[in-house]
C-alpha cells in the first residue's frame, strides 16, 4: 500500500482526516491531519441495520403493500376537520400533535406516518388508504415465441 499523500510504500497505513477527506497515509504524513479511529459496530447499530434491510416498504409504503395513501389525503383531512368545526390547532390537540404537523399535512408538505395516519383515520372517521390496482405484466406467448413484429400494430 502506498501513502495517499506522498506515495511512499507503507506497511500499516494510518487513517487520517485531512481537510475533510479521509486518507490512508504514512507515519510522517499523519501529522497533516487528525487520526480517524474506525468504530466497531455496536449490537444496537447492527440491529438497526438488520431492521432497515428487512423493511419491505414500497415507496408508496404504509406497511401493507396492497394499499397506498390516497392522492387527495390533504383535502380529505381538511374537509373532515372542517366538518367537525375544528381549527387546525384543535385537530392537533385531538391527535396529540403540533399544529404545524396538521398544517403541513393539509398543504401536502408531508405524508403521515403509519401511526399518524391511523390516528387521523380514527379521529376524523375517514379512510386514507386505498387498494393498489394489480396490473399483470406477463403476456401469453405463442409456441413459436413472441417477435418484435407481433408487438407492432399496423394501421
Q: How many CB atoms lie within 10 A of CB 13?
A: 18
> What's the pLDDT at 51?
62
How far is 150 from 46, CA to CA, in rounded Å? 51
Nearest Cα residue to 5 out of 91, 21, 24, 17: 24
Residues of the chain with pLDDT under 70: 38-65, 135-146, 149-150, 153-155
Which cell is 57 given? 416498504
Parts of the chain belonging to CATH 1.10.260.40: 67-131
How far is 27 from 10, CA to CA, in rounded Å? 9
b/e 60-81 (16+ beta carbons within 10 angstroms → b): ebbeeeebbeeeebbebbbebb
Classify domain 67-131 by CATH architecture: Orthogonal Bundle (1.10)
> What's the pLDDT at 139?
53
pTM surpassing 0.85? no
> What's the pLDDT at 154?
57
Which cell is 113 given? 406516518
Amino acid at each position: 500500500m502506498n501513502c495517499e499523500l506522498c506515495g511512499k510504500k507503507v506497511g500499516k497505513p494510518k487513517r487520517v482526516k485531512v481537510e475533510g477527506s479521509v486518507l490512508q497515509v504514512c507515519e510522517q504524513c499523519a501529522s497533516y491531519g487528525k487520526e480517524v479511529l474506525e468504530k466497531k459496530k455496536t449490537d444496537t447499530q447492527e440491529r438497526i441495520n438488520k431492521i432497515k434491510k428487512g423493511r419491505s416498504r414500497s415507496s408508496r409504503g404504509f406497511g401493507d403493500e396492497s394499499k397506498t395513501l390516497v392522492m387527495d389525503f390533504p383535502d380529505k383531512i381538511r374537509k373532515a376537520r372542517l366538518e367537525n368545526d375544528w381549527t387546525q390547532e384543535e385537530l392537533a390537540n385531538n391527535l396529540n400533535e403540533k399544529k404545524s404537523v396538521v398544517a403541513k399535512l393539509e398543504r401536502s408538505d408531508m405524508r403521515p406516518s403509519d401511526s399518524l395516519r391511523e390516528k387521523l383515520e380514527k379521529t376524523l372517521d375517514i379512510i386514507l388508504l386505498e387498494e393498489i390496482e394489480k396490473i399483470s405484466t406477463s403476456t401469453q406467448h405463442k409456441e413459436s415465441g413472441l417477435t418484435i413484429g407481433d408487438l407492432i400494430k399496423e394501421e
